[in-house]
Amino acid sequence: MSENKIIEYLMEAFSGESQANRKYTAYAEKAEKEGKHNAAKLFRATADAETLHALKQFEIAGKIGSTADNLKDAIAGETYEFKEMYPPFAEAAEAAGHKAALLAFTYAMKAEEVHAKLFQDALENLDENEEVFYYLCPVCGNIEKSRPDKCSICGIPGDRFIEY
């Protein structure tokens, strides 16, 4: 079997394990809301296990470069999402009258543009040593470098942002 086929398998496994992580995290949140704490703990533990698998597969596939290379890759990925991926998704949701999907796609599209700019800023300032804090909107995924009064994308109060 060729090295290329093994890399293909590693990336397919990475994708599946990454999706399982997010799926089990969503299941854990639902179980918590229903008061099913043991099931929630099992879903969280399994989500973390899937992350371990995914990270090892990604590493073995040789997909982790220097920080500068990783930032460039992140910029390209986020730019693709807000320029090419999400616009037709949003158009289709709007045409179908699916308001929830339209809102989800629109929030993500706007947040991905912010993410690309933040990654670009990080690349340009890679050798700076001054600590930077980031603030994540838990509703739309917007990220700011200072806690805003309200989210510029979805409008929730800034005190709900999560500090990193």
Name the residue ranges covered by the structural domains of the chain. 3-60, 65-127, 131-164
pLDDT of 1 > 90? The answer is no
Q: Do domains 65-127 and 131-164 have the same CATH topology?
A: no
Tell the CATH topology of 65-127: Ferritin (1.20.1260)
pLDDT number for residue 37: 98
Q: Which CATH superfamily is domain 3-60 in?
A: Ferritin, core subunit, four-helix bundle (1.20.1260.10)
| CATH code of the domain made up of 131-164 | 2.20.28.10
Strand order across the beta sheet in which 162-163 lies: 143-144, 135-136, 162-163
Dump pLDDT digits (tens) for 109-151.
Answer: 999 999 999 999 999 999 999 999 999 999 999 999 999 999 9
**CA proximity to 119, closest of 74, 60, 67:** 74
